[in-house]
Amino acid sequence: MKTQEIINLQREYFCSNKTKSVKFRIEQLKSFRKILKDNESLLFDAIDKDFGKSQYETYITELSLVYHEINLAIKKVKKWSRSKYIVTNLANFPGKSRVVSEPLGNTLVIGAWNYPYQLTLIPAISALAAGNTIVIKPSELSKHTSAAMAKLINENFDHGLLYVQEGGVKETTELLEQRFDKIFFTGSTAVGRIVMQAAANHLTPITLELGGKSPAFVLPDANLKMTAKRIAWGKFLNAGQTCVAPDYVLVHTDIKEKLLKELKNQVKIIHGSDPKGKETYVRIINKRHFARLNDLIHRDKIYCGGETDEENLYISPTILDNISFDDKVMEDEIFGPILPVIEFNNLDEIINKVRTRPNPLALYVFTKTSKIKKRLIREVSFGGGAINDTVLHLSNSRLPFGGKGFSGTGNYHGKAGFETFSHKKSILYKALWFEPFLKYAPYNKFKLKLLKWIIE
């Protein structure tokens, strides 16, 4: 369908006021859930074709999160959308104040390829729950999952309410020229800038879910076995193509050797000695990303892994030792199965170093010391994170998820997602039986004195 046609349809649909009914939204969310459930095999098949991801991993990292969001929205949308009474100030006596939640209108959700379902469907669920119309633009890099979503959604929903527009840069640029009431973008910082500039032309509010280099701090008192297990899981999940994956490890010199050994051991336990033959280990999305990652493997610094196979887009879980902040692998977000390990002696210095870099999307701390946990949370500015774990903070729908500065702006999941796609309309209800004479001219000294006495 042509971009302009779909925009016109959705504007008309929103003006019909159908989406203002919470009952209608719940019905749509229920049919959304049914469509996904009835077509799981299509969804599993598509993601396997895109980057060889197993059903199990697809379920735990994608579909289970999507179902959880739908179920939560169905259960809570009535409560979230109820208008709320607020205390009224003296100047407005006699009156009542209320905040009414209203949908923003026509929205655009642009997704990334690495978790193609959850990154497009979860914001769409929040937007639907909040009563908006939605155009979803999945990534063209994961073309099978993009086609699967287009088929399921476009065949089952009124296009005026929900529509998947497939395509790449050209189609996204066309969409960005239109006036939307909200743009929700997940992707790279570079494209985030383009989206922000396009949104500025129409003063459209945006949420940017971007990436960044997320550090994992490991302190001498950490439980090393558990630390290594959780870092290895979070890093090599989806072959490192995860926005909140620990990008690099900062480990205290005293325990570096022990941690490296444990990491190597845990990678073997999780992915086996030959991950290539296993359906539990994901492939790199395309040749361009393969070449980029291959270039980041400092051959003389490989601690373990480092095997590559371009034809099969395979890079084994790779750990790099003796890395410094000046190495190439420390320039940009890695977004692949390469884990650089940097050692430190002085916590103050390393915290300051991290603080001089762009805000990470996530930060992880492995320690038993409360003081250090609190210090890192207070002193480093980042999107969100975990203490003694990686990645899983994003699985709790009740925690708002998002970045800060370079890693994004705004947040979503659960109630936060509903609010991201809603406008808070403040209304004052005034009674007619009283009008304070202090409001009106002529002004005089007596009135000023009385006013000050009341206010102060």
Q: Could you give the residue numbers annotated as active site?
A: 209, 243
* In the complex, residue closest to ligand NAD by CB: 211
Task: Specify the stretch interacting with ligand NAD by CB under 6 A; choose among 55-63, 132-140, 262-270, 337-345.
Answer: 132-140
Shortest CB 402 distance to ligand NAD, Å: 7
User: Nearest CA to 99 among 86, 116, 114?
Assistant: 86
Residues 227-246 that bind ligand NAD (CB under 6 A): 243
Told to check if 197 binds ligand NAD by CB under 6 A, we report: no
Considering only 25, 53, 137, 213, the residue that binds ligand NAD (CB under 6 A) is 137
Told to check if 342 binds ligand NAD by CB under 6 A, we report: no
User: How far apart (Å, rounded) are the C-alpha atoms in residues 431 and 246?
Assistant: 57
DSSP class of residue 16 equals: T
User: How far apart (Å, rounded) are the C-alpha atoms in residues 129 and 415?
Assistant: 10
User: How far apart (Å, rounded) are the C-alpha atoms in residues 104 and 130?
Assistant: 8
Shortest CB 53 distance to ligand NAD, Å: 15
Beta carbons of 394 and 119 less than 8 angstroms apart:
no
Alpha helices in 244-308 (DSSP H): 256-271, 287-296
Told to check if 145 binds ligand NAD by CB under 6 A, we report: no
Strand 384-387 versus strand 362-366 pairing type: parallel
Told to check if 211 binds ligand NAD by CB under 6 A, we report: yes
User: How far apart (Å, rounded) are the C-alpha atoms in residues 114 and 109?
Assistant: 15
Structure tokens at 46: 């598509």
Residues 360-389 that bind ligand NAD (CB under 6 A): 361
Strand 95-103 versus strand 84-86 pairing type: antiparallel
Told to check if 123 binds ligand NAD by CB under 6 A, we report: no
Told to check if 187 binds ligand NAD by CB under 6 A, we report: yes
Structure tokens at 276: 């290539």
Considering only 26, 191, 196, 302, the residue that binds ligand NAD (CB under 6 A) is 191
Beta carbons of 248 and 333 less than 8 angstroms apart:
no
SS3 assignment for 363-381: EEEECCCHHHHHHHHHHCC
Shortest CB 175 distance to ligand NAD, Å: 9
User: What binding mask, one character per residue, do residues 387-406 give for ligand NAD by CB under 6 A, x or -?
Assistant: ----------------x---
DSSP class of residue 49 equals: H
Shortest CB 349 distance to ligand NAD, Å: 27
Number of residues forming the site for ligand NAD (CB under 6 A): 28
Told to check if 209 binds ligand NAD by CB under 6 A, we report: yes
Q: Which residues bind ligand NAD (CB under 6 A)?
A: 110-114, 119, 137, 139-141, 168-169, 172-173, 186-188, 191, 194, 209-211, 243, 333, 335, 361, 403, 408
